[in-house]
């Protein structure tokens, strides 16, 4: 083999292989979003210990992603100064596309945040540390959050594929159900355009299309009215 051929072969990207030497059957496959119900989200958050320090942190983290619609990266980038209890707002400085925004948070979410902030105070964690940090003040990784939420789902008996971004999905769909105008939802989600928000929501609400099919006039194979 010529040297040029050897160099070309070395440049070829390696394909991820399964243990049997074949590429995984689901390589590159994207699954449709599975929307969690409010009751399932409550079970997720309720599964976090209210006594263990890390349980309080995790409950507060999940509540902020759910009630304020934050991406996991945005939540992990927060600092204590980004939370304003008086105005019930959360300032997101490191949004997608470097777009900053301010979102709200309700009393229930603030209550869980207060419980975690009390832990931080007791452990004398520096205010310069990330809002959601380790007990030693270090950063929490997105990988940890993904693994944690899967544990909570298993504990809660939820059989859907569960990941942190689903909390943002529920936030968006609940706003639609509450008749919040689309431009407001766009700003809360931090989208660059209304078209992005419309596409985002369309992929999360398949039940509307299903309900339309179910509501169609009855039909039978023999053409006779369905009695």
- Catalytic machinery residues: 71, 96, 165, 168, 191, 200
Residue 87: name the closest of 110, 70, 65, 108 by CA: 110
What angle is formed at CA 171 by the lines to CA 166 and CA 172, rounded to 5 degrees? 95
Task: Tell me how long the chain is.
Answer: 227
Q: What is the DSSP letter of 32?
A: P
What sections of the chain are H helices per DSSP? 3-11, 38-46, 53-68, 72-76, 107-122, 142-156, 165-177, 182-189, 194-202, 206-214
């Amino acid at each position: 083999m010529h040297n040029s051929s050897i160099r070309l072969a070395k440049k070829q990207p390696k394909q991820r292989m399964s243990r049997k030497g074949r590429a995984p059957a689901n390589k590159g496959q994207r699954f449709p979003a599975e929307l969690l119900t409010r009751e399932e989200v409550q079970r997720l958050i309720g599964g976090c210990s209210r006594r263990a320090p890390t349980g309080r942190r995790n409950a507060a983290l999940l509540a902020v992603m759910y009630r304020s619609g934050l991406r996991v990266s945005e939540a992990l980038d927060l600092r204590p100064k980004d939370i304003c209890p008086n105005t019930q707002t959360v300032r997101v400085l490191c949004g997608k596309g470097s777009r900053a925004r301010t979102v709200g948070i309700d009393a229930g979410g603030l209550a869980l945040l207060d419980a975690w902030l009390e832990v931080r105070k007791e452990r004398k964690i520096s205010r310069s540390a990330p809002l959601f940090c380790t007990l030693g003040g270090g950063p929490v990784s997105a990988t940890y959050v993904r693994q944690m939420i899967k544990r909570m789902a298993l504990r809660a008996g939820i059989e859907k594929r569960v990941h942190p971004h689903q909390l943002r999905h529920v936030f968006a769909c609940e706003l639609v159900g509450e008749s919040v105008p689309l431009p407001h939802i766009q700003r809360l989600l931090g989208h660059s355009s209304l078209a992005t928000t419309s596409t985002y929501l369309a992929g999360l609400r398949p039940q509307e299309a299903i309900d339309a099919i179910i509501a169609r006039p009855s039909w039978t194979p023999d053409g006779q009215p369905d009695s």
